Amino acid sequence: MFAGIDVGSLTAKAVLINEVGKTFSFIKETGDNPKKSGEKVFEEVLRKAEINKADVKHIIGTGYGRIALSFVDKTVTELTCHAKGAHYLNPAIRTLIDIGGQDSKVITLNQNGGMADFVMNDKCAAGTGRFLEVMAGALKLDLKEMGDFSLRSNSPCVINSICTVFAESEVISLLASGRAKEDIIAGLHQGIAKRVGNMARRLGIKDEITFVGGVSKNTGLKSALETYLEIKFAPVGEDPQIVGALGAALFAREKYFTELSRKP
Amino acid sequence: MNKLKVDETIQEVRTSLALELEMAKDQGRKVVGCMCSYFPREMVWAADAISVGLCGTTEEPIAAAEEVLPADQCPMVKATYGRAIANTCPIFPLADCIVGETTCDGRKKMYELLAREKPMHIMELPQKPEDKEALIHWTAEVRKLKGFIEEQLGVEITDDKLRQTIKDVNEERRLLVEIHRCRQVHPVPVMGVDLVGLTTKFGYTVDHEPYRERLRELLAELQRRIREKEFACSPDRPRILWTGLGNSLGCDKVLKLVEECGGVVVCQEGCGGITRIEDMVDEEKDPIEAIAERYLRVTCSCMTPNTTRFNDIDRLIKEYRIQGVIDLTWQFCHTFNIESYRVGELVKQKHGIPFLHVVTDFSQSDVGQLRVRVEGFLEQITLGN
């Protein structure tokens, strides 16, 4: 078995893959200790696969918490891992939008699944998982409800602020003025779609395009992005939240066999 | 010179320069503070005075500057002003006068406030360097600068003295160019961070001959290392061309990050880089005209169009066997920020190699996020296929 551990700012993900491509995965919240949650998620995925740590031949760490992981053999950035994972799941993919807890990225892939180019948002939470979490808090909603909620809107609000702090006050004002939560969330999603969509356009969108990372589970935002970019996201056929960890596991497997073939 | 490293911080380097400056001033020498690559420092040395860079490169003075300047200004503008008013810079109080140029809006307006602290002269820099009127105007500005320095320092700058200084400074440029070109070999004999540290430190000088001597020693050491195959790093490290800003001891956090993450910066274009030294002042022409021509050719993004910068990057990618290009812009520096789009086009489309545009300031707060970008960029080179 080979492991990929992706410790993001909000969730930690672990994927195990064997020689023939059978996978196991596990997701949990990162909380305040990225090192511990990395270890925990690894233990859990081992339990799920009913194997021991000794059965894992190579481990690659990724995500913002990668540097905190002492048990991994090597680290690779989540950028390269996402490209790798997405290419494995669907080799036709050339553009990847990944929105995670604390940043959003657009990655273009070459035909071998290598990263050809990328762009990331600036150092702020605008348009990220954290942004949506803050907004869900302001609207007294569960984060998971937001997607379907926004799809019920007929007249989305216009949210002008892209800064998390200002957007939150704008949301509170809109609530005070009696606007429906559906319309406010739909407005937020359109705001994010515009911001991330322009980032993708700046890089140049090549078909097929897909949407991964925890925030891609938000159906409302996904649909807002498809409308804004006038595209249809290609499916990856796997939980979109584990694509980075899967990429890391694939690197672990590749690394193991390259080293093996080098041995006399 | 066996150890090619600078252990001092920029603050320590400035403090030791301040001591030397004080001694020189005791002997009657004058000090002129300068801000930018557009400043013709030959004019100062020809007056037997000392030119020192007063451009801000560190975070500490910014807080004081923000009491006056808006926070959303480029960190270099804020740090430069902060150095003057916050009493943290040991060099600033020693300057007899300061010269600035109308490069960008932030600097230009900040200089109006800086002028309250010291006698200050502003050179009006034309911004369409390819128009023939630009040189006529700039030549007149160089003449005015001569008048300002003569008046401030109570000296006469003769043509003979100016000619000799041009030769001296050109000699330094030639040495520096040879030093930089030692990095065309693979692997390089010195890491990018170390060379930036050394050249920043050496550049803080009160006399030319000792400066040239240090450069000669450095060059000899680099040549010895190349001869004896004593390389600074493994041949696997991706060779990076640096362009834009952030090329100086004190504001080199991204440069350090690139080398910590497994790359090696083998060439720098832009502020503090090779394109600011490989251009010589003509030694045959009228010295004022020759100086004006040379300094108008500096390729800051405040110029439009800035054609030479693109030609330089294009050439350096080939000369230094570059595998990826990093373009660093200080936050709120509109001209470098916008120009970066075209630099990216050139690098990606013409040369087909990875390009990373980094926008940051002098603080350490974003190093974690920057690390992802830098590592990802290096992985494009090492794992890209």
Domains delineated in chain A: 1-90+236-264 (3.30.420.40), 93-235 (3.30.420.40)
Q: Would an 8 Å CB–CB cutoff place B66 in contact with chain A?
A: no
In this predicted structure, the answer to whether residue B169 has a pLDDT above a threshold of 80 is yes
Q: Which two tokens stand for residue B191?
A: 């890491």
The reported pLDDT for the residue numbered A212 is 94
Smallest CA–CA separation between A179 and chain B, in Å?
A: 34
For residue B310, tell me if it sits in a domain.
no
Nearest-CB residue to B366 (from A64, A76, A123): A123
- Containing B144, the helix (H) or strand (E) segment is helix B132-153
Q: Is B372 on the interface with A (CB under 8 A)?
A: yes
Q: Enter the tokens of residue A104.
A: 């959003």
Q: Which residues of B touch A120 (CB under 8 A)?
A: 369, 372-373
Mean pLDDT of chain A: 92
Has residue B65 been placed in a domain?
yes
Residue A100 pLDDT: 84
pLDDT of residue A122: 66
Task: Give helix A181-203 / helix A129-138 axis angle, nearest 10°.
Answer: 170
**Counted domains in chain B:** 1
Q: Compute the average pLDDT of residues B173-202.
A: 95
* B223 assigned to some structural domain: no
Residue B87's pLDDT is 83
Choose, out of B254, B260, B343, B379, the residue to mutate when testing the contact with A (most A CBs < 10 Å). Answer: B379
Question: According to the model, what pLDDT value does residue A26 have?
Answer: 96
**What is the model's pLDDT at position B267?**
97
User: Does B384 touch chain A if contact means CB atoms closer than 8 Å?
Assistant: yes
In a domain, B302, yes or no: no
Q: Note whether residue B327 is domain-resident.
A: no
Of the listed ranges A48-57, A77-86, B182-191, B243-252, the one predicted with least confidence: B243-252
Looking at residue B218, its amino acid is L
The C-alpha atoms of residue A55 and residue B60 are separated, in whole angstroms, by 52
Any domain includes B324: no
Top-confidence residue, B269 or A101 = B269
pLDDT band at A72 (very low <50, low <70, confident <90, very high): very high
CA B269 → CA A233, B243, B323, distances in Å? 40, 5, 15
Q: How far is the alpha carbon of B369 from chain A, nearest alpha carbon, in Å?
A: 7
Mind listing the pLDDT tens digit for each residue in B15-63?
A: 999 999 999 999 999 999 999 999 999 999 999 999 999 999 999 999 9
Residue A36 has pLDDT above 80, yes or no: yes
Task: Report if residue B194 sits inside a domain.
Answer: no
User: Does B375 sit within 8 Å of A77, measured CB to CB?
Assistant: yes
- Note the pLDDT of residue A75: 96
Residue B289 counted as domain residue:
no
With a pLDDT cut of 70, the percent of chain B lying above it is 99
Quote the pLDDT of residue B2. Answer: 61
Q: What's the 3-state SS for A70-134?
A: CCCCEECCHHHHHHHHHHHHCCCCCEEEEECCCCEEEEEECCCCCEEEEEECCCCCCCCHHHHHH
| Residue of chain B whose Cα is closest to the Cα of A103 | B369
Instruction: Say whether pLDDT at B330 is over 90.
Output: yes
d(CA B214, CA B155): 29
Token pair belonging to B221: 């050491």
pLDDT class for B247, splitting at 50, 70, 90?
confident
Kindly determine whether residue B379 and residue A123, on different chains, have CB atoms separated by under 8 Å.
no
- At residue A149, the pLDDT reads 87
In chain A, residues with a C-beta closer than 8 Å to the C-beta of B368 are 64
- Confirm if B324 and B238 have CB atoms less than 8 A apart: yes
Mean pLDDT confidence for A211-230: 94
Chain A hits for B375, Cβ within 8 Å: 77
- Does residue B368 belong to the interface with chain A, where contact is any CB pair within 8 Å? yes
pLDDT computed for residue A123 by the predictor: 62
| Interchain pair B384, A110: CB under 8 A | yes
pLDDT band at A96 (very low <50, low <70, confident <90, very high): very high
CATH number of the domain to which B125 belongs: 3.40.50.11890
Note whether A115 contacts B366, CB cutoff 8 Å: no
pTM here? 0.93
Residue B1 is predicted with a pLDDT of 61
**Average pLDDT over every residue of B146-155:** 97
Domain limits for position B134: 10-155
Distance of CA A192 to the CA centre of its chain: 15
